[in-house]
Amino acid sequence: MLVTLNAPLSTLHAQGTAFDAVINGTAVSVTLTNSATPVTNGMFVVTLDFGSGVFTGSGRWLDIAVQTNGGTLFTALIPRQSTLPTPYAVMANSASNLLGSLPASQLKGAQPRPRTSAAHSAAT
């Protein structure tokens, strides 16, 4: 739970930066700051939009830091939080030019014959 001087916080400033390693590493994004972020029961939610080019499929870790309102320093929340490629996968790089269906005439190799279910065959 986030507290300051043994009292629960109601708002804070939050910063987020994407890194290429859990410890040390290189920042692969700008640092984004969300001011006056509400805190409820010690928890807060922020939206971080680093733009394109940050989540490319390689491992990324979010460095999150918070500052109390009126504070002068940000305190890092340790450890950095891992992000995985699956949640941010939007489209496979090799299929970026395929939108919609692919005609069978463009497929190479042996193609299986269409199957008809037994229930459908018996009904016709």
12-32 pLDDT, tens per residue?
999 999 999 999 999 999 999
Residue 35 · residue 67 · CB < 8 Å = no
The closest alpha carbon to 20, from 77, 74, 64, 61, belongs to 61
pLDDT tens, 46-93? Answer: 999 998 888 887 889 999 999 987 788 999 999 999 987 655 455 555
Please give the biggest Cα pair distance in the chain: 78
pLDDT for residue 9: 77
Among candidate residues 1, 53, 9, 2, the one with its CA nearest the CA of residue 27: 53
pLDDT at 108: 74
When pLDDT is cut at 50, 70 and 90, the band that residue 115 belongs to is: low
